[in-house]
C-alpha cells in the first residue's frame, strides 16, 4: 500500500505544478506562452490530477480494521458478535 501513497503524493505534486502553469504570471516566469482557452484546460487538468492524488491518499490512509469477538453467556465462551477496532 505504500506504492499507492507515494503515487498519490506524486500526483498531487504534478497536479499542483500543472495548476500553477495555468496562471499567466507563472507561465511568463517559465517562458511558456499559453492562450486563454488552453489556460482553462490546463487549470481543469491540474485540478483533476490533484483530486485523483488526494483520493488515492485518502483511500490508502483509511486504516485497517480488525474484528474482535464479543463473548457472553454463563461461561463466557459464546460469541454473540464482533466489534471492529482500528489497528
Cβ neighbourhood burial of 54 (10 Å; 0-12, 13-18, 19+):
middle
What are 39-58's pLDDT values in tens digits? 889 899 999 999 999 998 88
Q: What is the pTM of this model?
A: 0.64
In a domain, 47, yes or no: yes
The grid coordinates listed for 55 are: 483520493
In a domain, 10, yes or no: yes
In a domain, 80, yes or no: no
In a domain, 77, yes or no: no
Q: Picking from 19-23, 67-71, 83-87, which range would have the lowest pLDDT averaged per residue? A: 83-87
Transcribe 48-71 into DSSP letters: HHHHHHHHHHHHHTT--EEEEEEE
Q: How many domains does the chain have?
A: 1
Residue-level pLDDT at 59 = 77
In a domain, 48, yes or no: yes
- Domain housing 8: 2-62
Mean per-residue pLDDT for 26-40?
A: 83
In a domain, 22, yes or no: yes
Amino acid at each position: 500500500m505504500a506504492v499507492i501513497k507515494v503515487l498519490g503524493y506524486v500526483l498531487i505534486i504534478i497536479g499542483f505544478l500543472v495548476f500553477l502553469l495555468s496562471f499567466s504570471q507563472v507561465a511568463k516566469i517559465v517562458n511558456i506562452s499559453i492562450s486563454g482557452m488552453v489556460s482553462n484546460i490546463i487549470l481543469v487538468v491540474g485540478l483533476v490530477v490533484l483530486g485523483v492524488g488526494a483520493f488515492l491518499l485518502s483511500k490508502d490512509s483509511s486504516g485497517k480494521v480488525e474484528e474482535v469477538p464479543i463473548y457472553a453467556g454463563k461461561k463466557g465462551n459464546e460469541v454473540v458478535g464482533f466489534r471492529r477496532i482500528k489497528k
